[in-house]
């Protein structure tokens, strides 16, 4: 069966950066997604369209078709006194904050500069060109409920 809209594919993959370092991988058949629902990055979804179960492919995806370009406007300087005084703040910490539009978002504390904290709301993989080695393990039709929910249910998917 071919991958197309409203089908579920189970994949094994290795994601590496330009430097060849492994960023993420899944090799036990536990990763699945619903095609055509924006479950995965656009460049990978495009590359998988029409591919058959059993196929392996290697794709390089530019940042714009992956997690987007890095936006300098999403890096902000925040006064230390906006954080709880007792908090043990360190570079690399992630926490939930509110965007200027009031949406919850995950930001990373990237540096402490005197009385200021530098936080970055860009996706950790923003601005990066990504390499995917993918093997398509199986493809099936999605259930009605999965199409409605826009995600996979059962093994490798949501349980609810």
Q: Report the interface residues with Zn ion, using CB under 5 A.
A: 149, 158
Closest approach of Zn ion to the CB of residue 49, in Å: 23
Closest approach of Zn ion to the CB of residue 160, in Å: 6
What's phi and psi for 136, nearest 5 deg? -90, 115
Query: How far from 139 is each of 26, 50, 74, CA to CA, in Å?
Result: 17, 11, 38
**Residue among 21, 27, 45, 46 nearest 129 (CA):** 21
Q: Alpha-carbon distance 54 to 136, whole Å? A: 5
Q: Alpha-carbon distance 111 to 80, whole Å? A: 11
Closest approach of Zn ion to the CB of residue 158, in Å: 5
Q: Which is nearer to Zn ion, 23 or 147 (CB)?
A: 147
Q: Which is nearer to Zn ion, 124 or 154 (CB)?
A: 154
Closest approach of Zn ion to the CB of residue 11, in Å: 19
- Given a contact cutoff of 8 angstroms between Cβ atoms, the answer to whether 141 and 97 are in contact is no
What's phi and psi for 100, nearest 5 deg? -65, -25
Q: Which is nearer to Zn ion, 34 or 136 (CB)?
A: 34
Residue nearest to Zn ion (CB): 149
Closest approach of Zn ion to the CB of residue 148, in Å: 8
Q: Which is nearer to Zn ion, 6 or 149 (CB)?
A: 149
Q: Which is nearer to Zn ion, 124 or 155 (CB)?
A: 155
Q: How many residues does the chain have?
A: 160
Name the region of 154 (left: φ>0; alpha: ψ -120 to 50; beta: rest): left
């Amino acid at each position: 069966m071919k991958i197309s809209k409203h089908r579920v594919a189970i994949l094994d993959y290795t994601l590496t950066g330009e430097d060849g370092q492994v960023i993420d991988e899944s090799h036990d058949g536990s990763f699945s997604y619903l095609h055509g629902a924006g479950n995965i990055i656009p460049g990978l979804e495009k590359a998988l369209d029409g591919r058959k179960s059993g196929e392996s492919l290697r794709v390089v995806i530019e940042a714009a078709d992956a997690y987007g370009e890095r936006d300098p406007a999403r890096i902000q300087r925040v006064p230390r006194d906006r954080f709880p005084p007792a908090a043990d703040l360190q570079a690399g910490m992630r926490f939930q904050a509110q965007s200027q539009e009031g949406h919850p978002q995950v930001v990373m504390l990237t540096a402490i500069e005197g009385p200021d904290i530098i936080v970055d709301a860009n996706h950790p993989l923003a601005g990066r060109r990504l390499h995917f080695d993918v093997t398509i393990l199986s493809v099936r039709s999605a259930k009605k409920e999965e199409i409605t929910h826009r995600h996979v249910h059962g093994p490798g998917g949501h349980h609810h």
